[in-house]
Structure 1
Amino acid sequence: MIDVIVFVKDGKYTGLKVSGHAEFEEEGKDIVCAAVSVLTMNLSNSLEQFCDDKFTVDCSDGLFYLVLHDRSEKSGVLLDSCILGLMDMGEGYSEFIKINLQEVK
């Protein structure tokens, strides 16, 4: 199961933590894991390439963790888009992806 925790502050997404494995198919053929990886890595690369906002990212040992320190309109749209994609996948593959919102201070 892939666990996604979406961080929310004042009604806006500020980051996410993704961990686990879908186990939809054997390693190398798991389209669910591949799609989640593409969405999250593209988010990190896009923030770095297109935004000046500061953010923290950790991608190691099956964990993806990203938090925006500043949320501009650009970085917000990129983050919102990634989370939208993950939520859409969660609807179609609910037995493989669990998404929870976590309010942060």
Structure 2
Amino acid sequence: MSTTGHSDVDMESSSAFSPSEPAVDGIFVSKHNQSAEIYQIFKDDVDTLLSGRAPQHENASLIQRILQTCENMYVVFEDEKQHLMSDVLLSWAMKQQKVGIQKM
């Protein structure tokens, strides 16, 4: 426990992020918004199909559209995941490494 009342672990993890850096990752926000838009299209189409609101003769084309949306959704979600796993996590780990080295 430090003299400020925070544990050393809390101080160490929070000090890895500089106040001069933007708090919002614009790339992630863009990728996430794209994921949300595609998911909303998927959800609306599935709701329409399952509720019976679409005329019977349009069901085949609606199902094709849902399948295409699923393929697009997979690609977009995978891209968002890759950004989080590589860019964001790597950046965080490098900052943690710098903090650890500076304290030595």
User: TM-score scaled to structure 1, two decimals?
Assistant: 0.36
Higher strand share: 1
For the pair shown, which has the larger CA radius of gyration, 1 or 2? 2
